[in-house]
């Protein structure tokens, strides 16, 4: 099967998908980094926010509660997690548009709409370097001028402990080749190369599965 038809499932393996939300809560200090990410995004009325790799919709749910009048769109290639996202969002009564697709298809799926903000969490460490580059280029192209990108993902593993935990948990689940560039801190350089300005790592949160970093940048 060609790569453009494949993806790494949310929990690393399809059979683990039903356990994904539980695993994220247990292994990533989810409440801490999601709360910080929502604060960083600062959703306001009139925002058009796209969650690339939205998974089961946990972040979209939080964003909808923080800014009920913002337009929310989720993109993910995995039909199984999108089905879970639909159920989760239906319970909340929020209005969220969901699409099956890859990050590199963001502009195509948005059909000319220009989001004010694009967010992605726990996605980039799972994809090959070529896809990291292509995804960031697509996000840059999709954003309106002055639009913001926000990323929460495993970043530079600065200490021996974080590096050991990351190797023992995340690299065992998601493999070495895709995850290693993140562990070496490649994301800010890739964001710069895609054209984003004012790129910065705003926070690094130690967890039992390695350090999760928050990043942001602005479309020129």
Contact 56, 84 (CB under 8 A): yes
> Domain spans of the chain?
3-218
Q: What does the pLDDT average to over 163-169?
A: 97
Confidence (pLDDT) at 22:
85
Return d(Cα 119, Cα 41) in angstroms, integer.
Answer: 8
Kindly report, residue by residue over 70-122, the tens digit of the pLDDT.
999 999 999 999 999 999 999 999 999 999 999 999 999 998 899 999 999 99
Q: What does the pLDDT average to over 197-206?
A: 98
In the block, tokens 């970043």 appear at 155
Kindly report, residue by residue over 14-56, the tens digit of the pLDDT.
646 677 778 898 999 999 999 999 999 999 999 999 999 999 9
> Between vectors from CA 50 to CA 86 and to CA 123, what angle results, nearest 5°?
80
Contacts of residue 191, defined as CB under 8 A and 6 or more positions apart, other chains included, come to 136, 149, 151, 199, 215, 217
DSSP of 161-190 = HHHHHHHHHHHHHH-HHHHHHHHTT-HHHH
Q: What is the pTM of this model?
A: 0.91
Outline where 79-186 has alpha helix (H).
Answer: 79-92, 106-110, 129-142, 160-174, 176-183
Q: Is 218 left (phi over 0), alpha (psi -120 to 50) or beta?
A: beta
Q: Domain 3-218 in CATH: superfamily?
A: Vaccinia Virus protein VP39 (3.40.50.150)
Confidence (pLDDT) at 2:
38
């Amino acid at each position: 099967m060609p790569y453009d038809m494949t993806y790494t499932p949310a929990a690393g393996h399809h059979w683990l998908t039903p356990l994904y939300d539980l695993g994220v809560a247990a292994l990533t200090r989810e409440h801490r980094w999601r709360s910080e990410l929502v604060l960083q995004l600062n959703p306001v009325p009139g925002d058009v926010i796209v969650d690339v790799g939205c998974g089961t919709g946990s972040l979209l749910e939080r964003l909808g509660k923080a800014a009920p009048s913002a337009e929310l769109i989720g993109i993910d290639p995995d039909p199984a997690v999108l089905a879970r996202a639909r159920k989760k969002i239906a319970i909340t009564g929020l209005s969220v548009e969901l699409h099956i697709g890859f990050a590199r298809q963001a502009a195509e799926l948005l059909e000319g709409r220009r989001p004010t903000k694009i967010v992605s969490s726990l996605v980039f460490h799972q994809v090959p370097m070529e896809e990291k580059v292509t995804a960031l280029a697509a996000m840059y192209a999709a954003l309106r001028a002055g639009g913001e990108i926000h990323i929460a993902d495993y970043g530079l593993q600065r200490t021996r402990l974080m590096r050991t935990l990351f190797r023992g948990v995340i690299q065992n689940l998601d493999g070495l080749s895709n995850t290693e560039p993140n562990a070496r801190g490649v994301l800010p350089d890739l964001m710069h190369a895609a054209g984003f300005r004012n790129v910065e790592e705003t926070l690094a949160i130690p967890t039992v599965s390695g350090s999760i970093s928050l990043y942001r940048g602005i479309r020129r």
